[in-house]
Amino acid sequence: MHKFLQHKQKAVEQLKILIIDDDEVDQMALKRSLHKSGLNTQTFSASSGSNGLQLLHQETFDCIFIDFKLPDMDGLDLLEQLQHLELEAPLLLVTSHGDERIAAQAIRLGAADYIPKSILTPEAISHSVRSAIRLRKAETERFKYEKSLRDAQYQLDLIISSSPMAFFSTNAAGEFLFVQGKVWEMLGLNPEELVGKSCLDVLSSFPRVLNRFKRALNGETIQSIDDLNGSFFKAHYVPIYNEFGKFVGITGFAIDITDRMNNERELTQAKELAEKSVRVKEQFLANMSHEIRTPMNGILGLTNVLQKTNLDQEQHKFLKAIQTSANNLMLIINDLLDLSKITSQQFTFENISFNLDELIQDIVDLMQVRVSERNNVLLTHHNGNVPQTLVGDPFRLKQVLLNLIGNANKFTENGDIKLLIHTLEDSNGKILLEFTVEDSGIGIAEDKLQLIFESFNQATNDTTRKYGGTGLGLSISKSLVEMQGGTIAVRSQPLAGSAFTFTLPFSAPNASETQKEVPIETQESGELELLPMSHLRILLAEDNEINQLLISTVLADWEVELDMVTNGMEALKMFKKNRYDLILMDMQMPEMDGYDATGYIRKHGGEQACIPIIALTAHATTGEVEKCLAAGADAYVSKPFEPEHLYQTIYKLTHQNGCTTTSAHAAPSIKLEPLHKLSPDRASFLNELLTLCLNSTLTAQEALASYDEKRNLQQLEHAVADLHDSIAVISAQPLLGTLEELQQAIEQHNILSIKPLIVQSMLQSKELVDLLNQELSQLHEIA
């Protein structure tokens, strides 16, 4: 105990911190953050696990930072060795990888916290160190009390007299035989005066405690935590029996755990505050995205419209400058949004089938004009065994390649840019591809090679001024690659060009996935021939006048008959009054937004409930696509949009066969006729069967509703399978079909589809519950 008090006093005065990391840059960064954190620290360094162990045998430290990657062992191996030293100092594992499996293993091996290097700010370090030391202190306190209970009687007496505890024992009638400890004094009772008195009389002012004494006197063993006058006590009540099995009384003790409860409350409050901060940040990003992208839609859209008018050479030049500036601003906005989603771990990836050759050709088409402007040549090559069709995230692959090729083009003039693709491994349905982007440009100094992957950093101080950019592209690309299980590296020499190489794992598609490849959205360098759509009548719901002008001008070029409204209420009035081929629905409008308007049409639109609806939104944050599709939209177009993309989306939806809406909009139905022959007592049988189906549906609703909180695909899969099997016997449509789609999405880990299908399933299950209740009521009337 004396050693613990010494350690506590020392922690108040100055913290001795040991940093075990072989990277001097990371050591210096951590030391700077510790210095700025407000903690009074003295730091020691070790460049390997063995050096760290040697120091720990020589010195006593208050906190130890361990890098995951060390030259002679990894952080987990070191944690395992440190378990044998029984250190009092908390261990904090630091790593550049945000791997939850590593984090869980580190905690099991005794780490107090797992900190990604991306969040090693002074505030985060201060919070982690203080929390780790506070939690370790609380844990030490708990172990001290538990050990004290096993000590000899003379030690127990010493602990009782100096610790906030209470011991007691009574006879079978509830009269106190032994009472000792400070807790009684905290309750305003004198322990010496309690001996010989009945607990029923003494504790009448504390009804909850008295109730536990009564239950213990009836032979019940009880553990409880009670709040008495603002202090928290953990109490144990144990009935005592003699050697003949006769009840002779109770014994027990209570511990003051007020400090621990206060610490837990502070931690809970800190967690809630952190979660609130994340929600506020997400909402801020959503609002900023909307507020910035909405005017950008007008700028880019109207610029495209003006370029198609009769202009002289100087006007074309000015418009080209406006368009370039606006596109550059959009790149910066998108980079900042991506960076925010990465740092807040809100990034999700697709897992879909795509054609690699089409993706590469799309990149070449997109970059061709920019490459030619700098007199460069873009070449692509891949070895013969690179699969044509893969399963993964084509959109993020395209984003990384465009960034690397764009950088190569930016820093190269009158040279070559090569994209090389190789298969490193192809076995058991797993494919590891290596992508290399080489250029013959200005190159990068050796001491800057790692710096360029950090956020807001570029190779030299004047890079942004000379070449533009935010310094975020490579940082985002590195994160996107590593979050998918890949690696990225660079080799370069000044004036001799650079080569960026990254690897990514993919899966091989099965036969069904090969047939339903997802086409990668193309952006041709030349103009797409847009045929007139004079046969279409479209309703536009949009409250922004500039967007109204832009969309109406674009649609006028396609000879579309267009009606416009400014909110969801007006959209519903026009929808009921007229017959349209398609609705363009802005999702953020006054009075009634697009989500509510779309949902109303899907539920109450009658024969027109399946009309194609395209969601228009300036939001670009995670989950917006899911939210629009869950509301009932058939497609999603983000502002600012390319006219060609809007055209393709309209064309696709208006040329589908039959109703484009999903089964989410169909009325619920069940089939009971085939069951009539299964039991002579038809009413009783149906009543029991429908009741079972009703209970299964209600249980499944709880599991579906809890998915957002738990994100447990295995539990979701079991719940969906159970509900599907339960309602299959009554052919409950359309829920049965939706559950089959959801099962397929879960099997393919298609996260983007799971959420809207859950929303559909919940809506349909509620309608099924109403229908089952109606059927049961009718059966009861017949009975």
Per-residue pLDDT band at 692 (split at 50, 70, 90): confident
* 50 and 99 together in one domain: yes
- In a domain, residue 382? The reply is yes
- In a domain, residue 461? The reply is yes
Lowest mean pLDDT among 11-20, 171-180, 369-378, 734-743: 11-20
Position 722 pLDDT exceeds 60: yes
- In a domain, residue 644? The reply is yes
CB of 409 closer than 8 Å to CB of 442: no
* 489 and 548 together in one domain: no
Q: How confident is the model at residue 266, as a pLDDT?
A: 86
- In a domain, residue 300? The reply is no
What DSSP character marks residue 74? B
Q: How confident is the model at residue 535, as a pLDDT?
A: 82
Q: How confident is the model at residue 711, as a pLDDT?
A: 59
Q: How confident is the model at residue 540, as a pLDDT?
A: 95
- In a domain, residue 81? The reply is yes
The two structure tokens encoding residue 95 = 């790593």
Q: How many domains does the chain have?
A: 5
CATH no. for residue 715?
A: 1.20.120
What DSSP character marks residue 264? H
Q: How far apart are CA 479 and CA 349, in angstroms?
A: 12
Beta bridge pairs of residue 350? none
* 462 and 547 together in one domain: no
* 31 and 129 together in one domain: yes
Q: How confident is the model at residue 432, as a pLDDT?
A: 92
Position 663 pLDDT exceeds 60: no
Position 598 pLDDT exceeds 50: yes
* 9 and 89 together in one domain: yes
Q: Which of 199, 223, 256 lies at the terminal end of a domain, its last residue? A: 256
Q: Please, what is the average pLDDT of the chain?
A: 79
List the one residue out of 256, 255, 224, 248 whose CA is nearest residue 237. 224
CB of 79 closer than 8 Å to CB of 92: no
Q: How confident is the model at residue 578, as a pLDDT?
A: 92
Q: Which long-range contacts (CB under 8 A, 24 or more apart) does 179-187 make?
A: 181/253, 181/254, 182/256, 183/233, 183/254, 183/255, 183/256, 186/229, 186/231, 186/256, 187/228, 187/229
Q: Which of 86, 117, 142 lies at the terminal end of a domain, its last residue? A: 142
Position 191 pLDDT exceeds 50: yes
Q: How confident is the model at residue 466, as a pLDDT?
A: 47
How distant, in Å, are the alpha carbons of 473, 487, 594 from that of 493? 20, 21, 54
Whether cis (ω within 30° of 0) applies to the bond prior to 239 is no
Q: What is the three-state SS of 176-189?
A: EEEEECHHHHHCCC
CB of 756 closer than 8 Å to CB of 626: yes
Per-residue pLDDT of 22-46, as tens digits, reads: 888 888 888 888 888 888 888 999 9
CATH no. for residue 208?
A: 3.30.450.20
Lowest mean pLDDT among 31-40, 330-339, 489-498, 656-665: 656-665
Please count the helices (runs of H) and the strands (runs of E) in the chain: 28, 22
Per-residue pLDDT band at 523 (split at 50, 70, 90): very low
Q: Which long-range contacts (CB under 8 A, 24 or more apart) does 486-489 make?
A: 488/453
Q: How confident is the model at residue 417, as a pLDDT?
A: 92
* 562 and 590 together in one domain: yes
Residue 630 phi/psi, 5-degree rounding, is -65, -30
* 510 and 565 together in one domain: no
Q: How far apart are CA 699 and CA 690, in angstroms?
A: 14
Q: How confident is the model at residue 710, as a pLDDT?
A: 53
- List all residues 6 or more positions away from 150 whose beta carbon is below 8 Å from its beta carbon: none
Q: How confident is the model at residue 265, as a pLDDT?
A: 83
Per-residue pLDDT of 228-245, as tens digits, reads: 777 888 889 999 999 888
Q: How confident is the model at residue 541, as a pLDDT?
A: 94
pTM higher than 0.85 for the full model?
A: no
- List all residues 6 or more positions away from 663 whose beta carbon is below 8 Å from its beta carbon: 733, 734, 737, 738, 760, 764
Which secondary-structure segment (H or E) carries 399?
A: helix 394-410
Per-residue pLDDT band at 550 (split at 50, 70, 90): confident
List the one residue out of 477, 387, 481 whose CA is nearest residue 430. 387
Lowest mean pLDDT among 265-269, 373-377, 464-468, 592-596: 464-468
Q: Which of 197, 226, 256 lies at the terminal end of a domain, its last residue? A: 256
Range of the domain at 92: 2-142
* 652 and 696 together in one domain: no
CB of 700 closer than 8 Å to CB of 765: yes
CATH no. for residue 138?
A: 3.40.50.2300
The two structure tokens encoding residue 691 = 């009741």
Lowest mean pLDDT among 321-335, 338-352, 660-674: 660-674
Q: How confident is the model at residue 602, as a pLDDT?
A: 82
- In a domain, residue 339? The reply is no
Angle subtended at Cα 564 by Cα 562 and Cα 568, rounded to the nearest 5 degrees: 135
- In a domain, residue 484? The reply is yes
* 208 and 118 together in one domain: no
Lowest mean pLDDT among 4-13, 284-293, 515-524, 528-537: 515-524
Q: How confident is the model at residue 567, as a pLDDT?
A: 92
* 373 and 496 together in one domain: yes
What does the pLDDT average to over 131-146? Answer: 76
Q: How confident is the model at residue 506, as a pLDDT?
A: 93
- In a domain, residue 281? The reply is no
Beta bridge pairs of residue 635? 614
What does the pLDDT average to over 554-558? Answer: 85
* 447 and 380 together in one domain: yes
Per-residue pLDDT of 601-660, as tens digits, reads: 887 877 788 889 999 887 655 567 777 877 888 888 887 777 888 888 888 888 754 444
**Residues of the chain with pLDDT > 90: what percent?**
14
Looking at residue 634, its amino acid is D
* 20 and 113 together in one domain: yes
Per-residue pLDDT of 455-487, as tens digits, reads: 545 444 444 444 445 567 788 888 889 988 999
Per-residue pLDDT of 729-759, as tens digits, reads: 888 888 888 888 888 878 777 665 676 677 7
